[in-house]
Amino acid sequence: MAHQGHPVQLTPADAEWVEFETHPDSYKHIELVIEGGGAWIKLNIKEDQGHRAGYQLKLNSYDISVDVELAVAVQRLRFEHPEVSVVVVTSALDGVFSSGANIFMLGTSSHSFKVNFCKYTNETRLTIEDASAHSGQRYIAALNGVASGGGYELPLACEEIYLVDDRRSAVSLPEIPYLAVLPGTGGLTRVVDKRRVRRDQADVFVTLAEGIKGKKAVDWGLVDGVYPTSRFDEAIQKRVEALVDPSRAALKGVPLPPTSPVVDESGIHYKYVEVTFGPTERAATLTLTVPEGLPAIPQDPATLGSDWWPLRAWRELDNALLHLRFHRRDVGLVLLQTRGRVEDVLALDAAMWERRDHWFVREVLLNLKRVLKRVDVTAKSFYALVGEGSCFAGSVLELALAADRIYMLEAEGVELAMSPLNRGLLPMGNGLTRMQTRFVFDREKADDLAARSGRFGASDADDEGLVTMAMDDIDWGDELRLAIEERVSMSPDALTGMEASIRFAGPETMETKIFGRLSAWQNWCFQRPNAVGEAGALSLYGRPERPEFNWERT
């Protein structure tokens, strides 16, 4: 049964349907300017061109359509403009950087949409940080006006933040006093864990609706510098010039065409990825196919282009995950299958490992890492089915290791195998590999297994703890049917909480806090009457009435 009377299976005709692919020629809300080794992402959000009717995107406030453009721009800069080494995020409007996520959009959205929106926005911010950390593209926020709520959370994802000192522009996270919710895309966590703001000062800051400006914002660590209006643009330009890496000037990018899935009643169909609905209600089967005869990596790997399997297939998988999250909310269990030859995956992984220092191969591997992280934080159950014709090896094995359970058929030729890519290039948000997380209290065993060069049949895989259950062909069908039927009969809310608690065993990081702690609390707050009840703060935002709170603490 759908929560709050909203449909769980959406179609392009529904107001909450989202297209996750766009092109700079079609951007409505951001301007992307490339100048030598620098790039400028300028927020110029069109008030009357929101994702759906019923609200205006005033003061550079944003909705999912804006965040899709931002996510695509960040991805395109990495692949299409490797010559860029500095990215400035700023506003095309005077006096306003961004007032954050549009409150009226949030107030009129279903609970599922709000949560998925916050999660997608989280992932976009983490992609920015990943680009700064690993792609040689440093992000600078040039706040030429007020940055409020999500409008400050975006700068928090950047490496450096500079604020105009015009006596009125401030940074703020006013969600708690204004809306009775939380800065839901990592604001709280980044303030204390990344900006290292002292906890008592952070407490004052996030409960101070008007925010903090000028020298005090610098002193508290909320920004890295302030400049008067007369010097602001010049100061930012000088900082860009100081950071540009001229050695990247000769790099030529690879265009990213859309994956263009065919979506119909039976499923979502791509070139290498296919999602079909079934075999039972509330379940789907996702199949990743590795073709035979993958090309060798040439002297210049970038000539392989966007159709190279490890780039195209994992971009397709990424798009499929977003479709399942936003549009098939009824699907609670995804069965992961692969088709192909183990030797083809191992050969590809070995070649990518050897060329991992080339910018294009590096970006393909980083994209693969990000897609696997998208699996890790997707609020659906995943069962990996290792059967006849499977190729769960190396990088593709990571997909099985990301699953909640792994079922393996005892049959000749059904095998698992490791590659160098299982040894640290594709970490989870907790900083560990999926193998290390699987054996979180036996690091030596995890590293030993990842370093094995042989293949594992079902019996050996079961003995080593690599699979949940190994079954012969007699039990395979019945055991899977029972496991599937049992899973889809359970409470989706309880399962989401369970999976989020179990998947990230081991150490906590800023990333796991954002998803496992902040996102969980934000999810809870979005359902409470203090926020979304008839007299809740989010429901009454923009109206003269004051919210009425239930003062009981949990």
SS3 category, 537 = helix
**Do 281 and 168 belong together in one domain?**
no
- Does any domain span residue 533? no
Between CA 403 and CA 288 the distance in angstroms is 14
CATH number, domain of 486, equals 3.90.226.10
pLDDT for 329: 94
| Total domains in the fold of the chain | 2
- Does any domain span residue 387? yes
Among 498, 513, 539, give the residue marking a domain's end. 498
For residue 55 the two structure tokens come to: 């609200």
- CB distance 345 to 398 below 8 Å: no
- CB distance 105 to 51 below 8 Å: yes
Using N-to-C axis directions, what is the helix angle for 111-134 and 359-376, rounded to 10°?
A: 150
**Do 76 and 34 belong together in one domain?**
yes
The label of the residue with tokens 């604001």 reads 187
SS3 category, 270 = coil
Among 498, 515, 536, give the residue marking a domain's end. 498
- Does any domain span residue 510? no
Between CA 217 and CA 237 the distance in angstroms is 21
pLDDT for 516: 86
Between CA 418 and CA 349 the distance in angstroms is 10
**Do 336 and 452 belong together in one domain?**
yes
∠ CA(470), CA(471), CA(476), 5° rounding? 135
Q: Establish whether the linkage from the previous residue to 291 is cis, with ω within 30° of 0.
A: no
**Do 185 and 334 belong together in one domain?**
no
Half-sphere exposure of 262 (CA within 13 A, CB side): 7
Q: Classify the C-alpha dihedral 500-504-509-511 as positive or negative.
A: negative
What Cα–Cα distance (Å) separates residue 121 from each residue in 38, 68, 152, 391? 24, 9, 13, 33
**Do 491 and 359 belong together in one domain?**
yes
**Do 316 and 391 belong together in one domain?**
yes
Between CA 144 and CA 149 the distance in angstroms is 16
- Does any domain span residue 507? no
Among 458, 478, 498, give the residue marking a domain's end. 498
Between CA 24 and CA 139 the distance in angstroms is 19
- Does any domain span residue 266? yes
**Do 321 and 280 belong together in one domain?**
yes
- Does any domain span residue 467? yes
**Do 228 and 267 belong together in one domain?**
no
**Do 218 and 330 belong together in one domain?**
no
**Do 398 and 462 belong together in one domain?**
yes
- CB distance 115 to 500 below 8 Å: no
pLDDT for 3: 39
What Cα–Cα distance (Å) separates residue 492 from each residue in 108, 109, 381? 23, 20, 9
SS3 category, 109 = coil
- The pLDDT tens digits along the chain (554 residues) read 333 444 578 988 899 999 999 998 999 999 999 998 999 999 999 999 999 999 999 999 999 999 999 999 999 999 999 999 999 999 999 899 999 999 999 989 999 999 999 999 999 999 999 999 999 999 999 999 999 999 999 999 999 999 999 999 999 999 999 999 999 889 999 999 999 999 999 999 999 999 999 999 999 999 999 999 999 999 999 999 999 999 999 999 999 999 999 999 899 999 999 999 999 999 999 999 999 989 999 999 999 999 999 999 999 999 999 999 999 999 999 999 999 999 999 999 999 999 999 999 999 999 999 999 999 999 999 999 999 999 999 999 999 999 999 999 999 999 999 999 999 999 999 999 999 999 999 999 999 999 998 999 999 999 999 999 999 999 999 999 999 999 999 999 999 999 989 998 999 999 999 998 888 888 889 999 999 999 999 999 989 999 999 999 98
- Does any domain span residue 394? yes
**Do 302 and 211 belong together in one domain?**
no
The label of the residue with tokens 């766009």 reads 22
**Do 228 and 274 belong together in one domain?**
no
- Does any domain span residue 453? yes
Q: Which amino acid belongs to residue 156?
A: L
Find the domain containing 78 and state its range. Answer: 18-232
In sequence order, the 6+-apart residues with CB closer than 8 A to the CB of 312 are 259, 271, 272, 306
Looking at residue 282, what DSSP letter applies? T
